[in-house]
Chain A
Amino acid sequence: MADLRHLYQDTLLEHYRAPRHAEPIASPDARATKNNPRCGDACDAALSIEGDRISDISIVSRGCTVAVASGSILAEVCAGRSIDDVRAVLDRARSLITGESALMRGDAPLLAALATISGYPTRHQCALLASEALTLALESYQSPSPSALKATTE
């Protein structure tokens, strides 16, 4: 099992056991749920937004180690950032998870834990779930519609 240590590294396991920002926000400004129909995993992302800043964030995941920990890591990295920053973080997270690009100077240190997942293609979907839910939540906020505050489900 030695080579699995790259995947199940301490950071990932620790975030799985004690996910950050996992308490759902009561009255979010934006919210979206993303399901992975292949395995039944689901991620609910909610944001409180003040001006252009994410003042509060919650990621409630149901899934495997990789899905839950990725959500927790993203929540921690995104909390308190501007919307543009969060977009950039989500883009970076996606390319690190899929292996499109390697870690760069300037990446949030926690994203390193996501970069290791790139070596396990069967787990990319698990790791991408939270970033997809967050992206949907941001979209629902920026293109307000009558149902903008209702959960968007895909």
Chain B
Amino acid sequence: MEARKSLPGPIPLPAAGGKDFCPILDVDRIRKDFPILERKVHGRPLVYLDNAATTQKPEAVISALSEYYRESNANVHRGLHALAEEATQAYEDARAKVARMVSAEGPANVTFTRNTTESLNLLAFAWARPRLGKGDVILLTEAEHHSNLVPWQIVAKERGATLRFVPITDRGYLDREAFGDLIGPEVKVFSFSHASNVLGTINPVRELIDALRSVSPDAVAIVDAAQSVPHMAVSFPGLGCDAMAFSGHKMYAPMGVGALVMNDRLCEECGPFLGGGEMIDTVRLESSTYAPAPMRFEAGTPNVADAIGMGAAVEYLTSFGMDRVWQHTKCLAAHAYDTLSEIPSIRCFGPPEEGSRSALVTFIDEEVHPHDLAMVLDRDGIAIRAGHHCAMPLAERLGVHATARASFGLYNTREEVDHLVESIRRARRYLGCDG
């Protein structure tokens, strides 16, 4: 996590995110690392504010992919030739980089998957399905992404287990009192997001897990860290969970690769997910024995190039220092929350409090449908997300059918946030609303 040599020394962090914003990252320089930011959209410079859906990729990642295919492409963990050795080394180096980034116990505790969704499905099907039964409870929250709801619904239905949901308060926090009532020795799994992809709420992961463990010591705690790992320093042991899932493509890595971090207990207990090559120890016609983690969970030829790309992304991202990355994106979100709230017809969701919100703001304009807003903004070169953000139950809880979301990354600037707000004002006038 050393600062890049070419960067100036650490600039003091600002006291608060709102008005007194000071640059903590050399964004002009960072922007040059992302070739796509040079392009225009509908004749306007691209303002990419859909980072919670996927981030853009820096040259370091693009060239890692290209270099791998140009120089070292071979299948991994087999073959005794030079290319196979290089490819295996690069793939395992990438695993070690991911492990170091989140302080996993070791590289073997990191399984490469396709994305957060696959990581969560792996846990639901390979760990929970064979273990849960009638009377067992899977605890989730109202604010989960579909990827942290649907797999558990399938497992609960099949095994006769019960789903429980921690409600959210009107301010967008998990309801701690209700949480206290929902936990008990019958809770065998608690799976929840570190940072909500809609509300932006950062959950007090450690506290919740400690509270659960005090009444159900063996419960397995799973954290969906897809919206936190790209933005802040996340320590797997610090969170106190048994497993943590995140995607590469939301942290400047290629699409198609993600990670599942498990502690030694789950690495030991969790059975195979997909069967095939790579994941076995010995295969006989009637039965097989399985390889230890992480190989047990990586059947078939893995996505070597993208995993290497993820390693490159980790190196790139952490070179800025995750605390500074966090200060930067958090400040952008706070600025967006403040300035969007100045438009009377706009309602922002999630906690307004500094430090409780991650790098995004979800909002609605009471007079303009999010689709219309997103489309008019697009013509200004601004990319935002509109819809239910794969969290339909949460949208229902919030009493809305669709919302707009602006989400930030390393390369976004305060000026871009101002441009967004100005463009929304123009869109409102264009669509016949006042101001």
Q: Contacts A41-B402, A64-B369; is A1 near B426 (CB within 8 Å)? A: yes
A120 CA to B42 CA, complexed, in Å: 13
Q: Are A8 and B402 in contact (CB under 8 A)?
A: no
Q: Quick check: is A66 within 8 A (CB to CB) of the other chain?
A: yes
Flag A1-14 by CB within 8 Å of B: 1 or 0 each. Answer: 10110011000010
Do B431 and A8 have beta carbons less than 8 Å apart? yes
Q: Does A126 contact B (CB under 8 A)?
A: yes
| A41: contacting residue among B42, B395, B401, B426, CB under 8 A | B401
Chain A, residue nearest B400 (CB): A40
- On chain A, the number of residues with a Cβ less than 8 Å from chain B's Cβ atoms is 22
Contact at B372–A64, with CB atoms within 8 Å?
Answer: yes
CB–CB A4/B388 < 8 A: no
B424 interface contact, C-beta 8 A? no
Asked whether B9 is an interface residue with its Cβ less than 8 Å from the other chain, the reply is no
How far apart are A97's CB and chain B's nearest CB, in angstroms? 15
- Size of the B side of the interface (Cβ < 8 Å), in residues, is 22
- Give the one of A8, A40, A126 with max B CB within 10 A: A40
- What is the minimal beta-carbon distance from A56 to any residue of chain B, in angstroms? 27
- 1/0 contact trace for B145-170 toward A, CB 8 Å? 00000000000000000000000000
- Interface presence of B76 (CB below 8 A): no
CB distance from B404 to the nearest CB of A (A): 11
A4 to B387, CA, bound (A): 20
Contact B426 A65 (CB under 8 A): no
Interface residues of A in 3-36 (CB under 8 A from B): 3-4, 7-8, 13, 17
User: A104 within 8 Å of B by Cβ?
Assistant: no
- CA separation between A7 and B378, bound complex, in Å? 13
Q: Mark B373-388, 1 if CB is under 8 A from A, else 0.
A: 0011001100000111
Most buried by A among B42, B369, B387, B426: B369
Contact A65 B402 (CB under 8 A): no
Write out, one digit per residue, whether chain A residues 27-71 have a CB within 8 A of any chain B CB (1) or not (0).
000000000011111100000000000000000001111100000
Contact pick for B375, options A17, A40, A41, A123, CB 8 Å: A123
The answer to whether A40 touches B392 (Cβ under 8 A) is yes
Report the bound CA distance from A8 to B376 in whole Å.
Answer: 10
B89 to chain A, nearest CB (A): 43
Q: Are B431 and A65 in contact (CB under 8 A)?
A: yes
- With an 8 A cutoff between CB atoms, is B344 at the interface? no
A123 to B379 CA separation, bound complex (whole angstroms): 14
Q: Is A143 an interface residue (CB 8 A)?
A: no
Interface centre among A65, A66, A122 (most CB of B within 10 A): A65
In the assembled complex, how far is the CB of residue A144 from the closest CB belonging to chain B, in whole angstroms? 31
Chain A residues with Cβ under 8 A from B392's Cβ? Answer: 37, 40
Q: Which of B327-375 touch A at CB < 8 Å?
A: 369-372, 375
- CB-CB < 8 A to B401: which residues of A? 39-42, 62-63
Contact B375 A39 (CB under 8 A): no
Bound Cα distance A16, B402 (Å): 17
Query: Which residues of chain B come closer than 8 Å to A38, judged between CB atoms?
Result: 387
A4 close to B376 (CB less than 8 A)? yes
A40-B395 contact, Cβ under 8 Å, with A3-B42, A3-B379, A13-B432: yes
Q: Which of B395, B400, B402, B430 has the most CB of A within 10 A?
A: B402
A4 to B371, CA, bound (A): 13
Contacts of B386 in A (CB 8 A): 39
**Chain B residues positioned under 8 Å from A8 (CB to CB):** 372, 376, 430-431
Chain A 62-102, CB-CB to B under 8 Å as 1, else 0, gives 11111000000000000000000000000000000000000
> Closest CB-CB distance, B115 to chain A, in whole Å?
19
Q: How far is the CB of B4 from chain A (nearest CB, A)?
A: 39
Is the pair A123, B371 in contact by a Cβ cutoff of 8 Å?
Answer: yes
- Verify A40–B430 contact, CB threshold 8 A: no
Bound CA–CA A126/B370 (angstroms): 12
B42 to chain A, nearest CB (A): 7
Given contacts A1-B379, A4-B376, A66-B371, 12 further A-B contacts (CB under 8 A): A1-B380, A1-B427, A1-B430, A4-B430, A8-B376, A8-B431, A38-B387, A39-B387, A39-B401, A64-B371, A122-B375, A126-B371
* B contact set with A: CB distance below 8 Å: 42, 369-372, 375-376, 379-380, 386-388, 392, 395, 400-402, 426-427, 430-432
Query: Can you report 12 A-B residue pairs in the complex whose CB atoms are below 8 A from each other?
Result: A1-B376, A1-B430, A3-B42, A8-B376, A13-B431, A17-B432, A39-B402, A40-B388, A40-B401, A41-B402, A65-B431, A123-B375
The 5 closest A-B pairs by CB, nearest first: A40-B401, A64-B369, A64-B371, A40-B402, A1-B379
